[in-house]
Chain A
Amino acid sequence: MTKLMEWLSVLSVLISVWISCFTNRYKFEILDQYKEFILYLPFILIALFGLYAVAVVLYRVFTFNNCVEAAAEVQKQIIEAKEDLAKKGFVFKTS
């Protein structure tokens, strides 16, 4: 099953359950009591997920390691490499 099919099947199950709450087919007191809440529930969930996504992404942006030492290490090794290669007879292209 492709990821698309997985998403579609889970979503269709959830949407059918949600719609069935408004068909008057099932009589539960709780359904009548929270009708309005249930109606908006999917949108509330989507909004909450959106907030979660933004929070997670921003958190990860701000905690994304800045590898300053790694950059410095490369710079140091470039000099080392050039010296050693020149000793071994490598001719660098001058432009």
Chain B
Amino acid sequence: MVKSTKNNKYSILLPTYNEVENLPIIIWMIVKYMDQSNYNYEIIIIDDGSPDGTLDAAKQLQSIYGDSKIILKPREKKLGLGTAYIHGMKHATGNFILIMDADLSHHPKFIPEFIKLQEANNYDVVSGTRYLGNGGVSGWDFKRKLISRGANFLTQLLLRPGASDLTGSFRLYKKDVLQKLIESCVSKGYVFQMEMIVRARQMKYTIGEVPITFVDRVYGESKLGGSEIVQFSLALLHLFATT
């Protein structure tokens, strides 16, 4: 039988940089869906010295929702995603870690689905996927879809990673698994997500997938340029040769 959810605690890590408009909304949504499903959770906000006042917004949210729910672990300056997770994890009291973007591209309504799938199969990692079932994207033009699908096809062909969405960053990990994965990862930026899931396969962790919708940044600019494509290609070759 499935273990009672009462024993599990979920630490949601939210790395932020200039998300003063999105942060209150995403926190409100997380609280709404997590309270609805009665899970034990905490939200750890790791703000990398945003000049737009994200931290002040976070402090206000902490006073509204309480400091057992909202935990602030800011850093002086932008130091990268991998170290943000390590930093957040150090202060996490949950046995599961959920990572997601704070820019409203990931909807918190999917978190309970991640948790249910994890419980049903005792997966080490549950990854959101834009490429399966009812998953998808919003606000993408033909070119962006083509790059995404093309890159995904090539990656599946070369790496056979056992997960359909490699660059997504909406995932649930067992805490010790995430710890080990981060230690073994070398890449920076968004290709870090790809390395994490490929290493997970290499280390024989089990991976479950939940179809998610990805709504492109509501506030602020989204980033996909030439340098991302170069970064991605290099990471792909690196993983091809090392995993």
- A interface, CB within 8 angstroms of B: 2-4, 7, 53, 56-57, 60-61, 64-68, 70-71, 73-75, 77-78, 81-82, 84-85, 88-93
- Nearest residue (CB) in B for A60 is B149
- Bound complex: CA A8 to CA B105 (Å): 39
Task: Give the 10 A-B CB pairs with smallest separation, nearest first.
Answer: A65-B136, A70-B213, A67-B213, A81-B28, A71-B138, A67-B138, A67-B136, A4-B241, A60-B149, A81-B25
Interface residues on B, range: 35 or more
| Cross-chain contact A57 with B149 (CB below 8 angstroms) | yes
Give the chain A neighbours of B131 by CB distance below 8 A.
60
Tell me if A67 and B137 are in contact (CB < 8 A): yes
Q: Besides the contacts A57-B150, A90-B61, what 8 more A-B pairs have beta carbons closer than 8 Å? A: A2-B242, A64-B137, A64-B149, A65-B134, A67-B213, A70-B215, A77-B25, A85-B28
Nearest-neighbor residue (CB-CB) of A91 within chain B: B60
Report whether B218 and A66 are in contact in the complex, using a CB–CB cutoff of 8 Å: no
Give A85 to B61 CA distance when docked, in angstroms: 9
Q: List 20 A-B contacts (CB under 8 A).
A: A2-B243, A4-B241, A53-B153, A57-B146, A64-B136, A64-B137, A65-B134, A66-B136, A67-B137, A67-B138, A67-B213, A67-B215, A70-B215, A73-B107, A74-B218, A78-B104, A78-B218, A81-B24, A82-B24, A93-B52
Binding site for A on B (CB under 8 A): 20-21, 24-25, 28-29, 52-53, 56-57, 60-61, 64, 104, 107, 131, 134-140, 142, 145-146, 148-150, 153, 158-160, 213-215, 218, 239-243
B152 CB to closest chain A CB (Å) equals: 8
**Contact yes or no, A71 B145, CB < 8 A:** no
Which of A56, A64, A70 has a CB less than 8 Å from the CB of B145?
Answer: A64
The smallest beta-carbon distance between A79 and chain B, in angstroms, is 10
Query: Whole-angstrom distance between the alpha carbons of A84 and B145 in the complex?
Result: 36
- Please report the C-alpha to C-alpha distance between residue A81 and residue B26 in the assembled complex, in whole angstroms: 9
B138 to A90, Cβ gap below 8 A?
A: no
When distances are taken between beta carbons in the complex, the residues of chain A under 8 Å from B64 are: 85, 88-90
B134 contacts A74, CB within 8 Å? no
Which residue on B lies nearest to A88, using beta carbons? Answer: B64
Chain B residues whose CB sits within 8 angstroms of the CB of A90 once the complex forms: 24, 60-61, 64
Chain B residues positioned under 8 Å from A65 (CB to CB): 134-137, 213
